[in-house]
Chain A
């Protein structure tokens, strides 16, 4: 199973919006709504920020939103803040209770 493709890095200024893409195939992202996104600060464990493509767990800022179209899922961060600087990973169900993660995106707040 090949990793989902994400841009290696994205940067933006405070207050701006940015979108991170996560491209898979018809065997994973394209077939299931079980796409999730995780935020990971340096030296910390990942934290779930989006599940089932576009749902936010309680306690996660509404500045984070998710969507999916075809084989590509997207995470949008609006009103970028310094604390959003972190690594972001997508993950998709890939059939038969197996999962595949994205390559990861480093978000830099300028």
Chain B
């Protein structure tokens, strides 16, 4: 059974940093594209970043480039999102996803990040 379990969310002050983690199981993690997608409270979905299977290429939503970094550890079956210079508008549930646009697409349950003073 495919499982994606996010962790690392919480309350952080504006300007702070946070690292989200996603533990994957039930599939060959090293073979799949992985992505982070977020959803602000009461709002729609927003693609954040994607990373190819071997981790050598990464893609970001334009407005987040330079502040967010996606990475993965295929030996640990883990996906990460490093977030710096956080702003109140980054408050959202962050979802870890497996190949979300393909047949095998799957989403974790999400982790809430709240940026507030």
Contacts and interface: CB of A to CB of B under 8 A. Distances in A.
Contact of B95 (A3, A46, A91, A93): A46
B44 A89 contact: yes
B75 interface: no
Nearest to A105: B44
A103 interface: yes
A71 B71 CA distance: 33
Contact of A51 (B37, B60, B105): B105
Contacts of B45: 38, 46, 89, 91, 101, 104
B44 A1 contact: no
Interface string B59-102: 11110000000000000000000000000000000010000111
A98 B47 contact: yes
Interface string B32-49: 000101000000111100
Interface residues of A, number: 26
Interface bracket on B: 20 to 34
A93 B101 contact: yes
Contacts of A63: none
B25 interface: no
Interface centre among B61, B101, B105, B106 (most CB of A within 10 A): B101
A45 B44 contact: no
A42 to B, nearest CB: 11
Given A1-B62, A38-B45, A100-B47, A45 B110 contact: yes
A93 B37 CA distance: 14
Contact of B61 (A36, A48, A55, A98): A98
A91 B107 contact: no
